[in-house]
Structure 1
């Protein structure tokens, strides 16, 4: 089944699911949205969260203002420096465990000037 937008263009297909209106690719393979950095206020905030994770603590870094390719590279550097697992997606880097101080120091050495500990 295919659904077509009245202004032209495919919006949904049972073959691939949702389609990007700009590049007309499936959302999972869309290249045009991944290349754009999310907006930021210039402050990198480093949180420690346990909410919604079954009591497991996670260090969360928000406000980097990087597009997905650069965010993935930074996420790998942070995970390697802390020796933990984690993920980098949608403008946020998550690291398993409480590594706020180490992450803040590393981000400052990488050139992020306005890094703050947030959330308690």
Structure 2
């Protein structure tokens, strides 16, 4: 049975990802872009520990919107702050909302 190198537990019982989620300070903000369109920005997630492309895909599905990963942050089309906050809190992240 494979063992996690970080915590020493068997991989099916590994808690490393949950601990990483709790320790990161994720900031969710919204800003206006071209043509007065809103863009929701999710930043503060360490891309070395969490797969941002996969998380972005999950968020786009949960919010029913488009988006991308740029410069270590997730950008979603539209004002999605409340949906993103609810989704990430259910996944175990601690969230800070910011107005920009």
TM-score (norm 2): 0.69
Provide the aligned C-alpha RMSD in A.
2.1
Q: Which structure 2 segments of 5+ residues have no match?
A: 1-22
Instruction: Note the C-alpha offset of 1:64.
Output: 1.0
Q: Which has the higher contact order (CA 8 A, sep 6+)?
A: 2
Instruction: Note the C-alpha offset of 1:88.
Output: 1.2
Equivalenced residues, count: 78
If you compute each CA radius of gyration, which structure gives the higher value, 1 or 2?
1
Q: Residues 105 and 92 (structure 1 numbering): CA distance in 2 closer, same or farther, change over 3 Å?
A: same
1:64 aligned counterpart, secondary structure: coil
1:105 aligned counterpart, secondary structure: helix
Give the equivalent residue in structure 1 for 2:18: none
Q: Which structure 1 segments of 5+ residues have no match?
A: 1-40
Is 2:22 aligned against 1:49?
Answer: no
Instruction: Note the C-alpha offset of 1:83.
Output: 0.5
Contact 1:72/1:89 (CA < 8 Å) preserved in 2?
no
How do residues 27-46 of structure 1 correspond to structure 2 at under 5 angstroms? 42-46=24-28
Is 2:70 aligned against 1:81?
Answer: no
Instruction: Note the C-alpha offset of 1:97.
Output: 0.4
Distance 1:68 1:55 in 2: 34
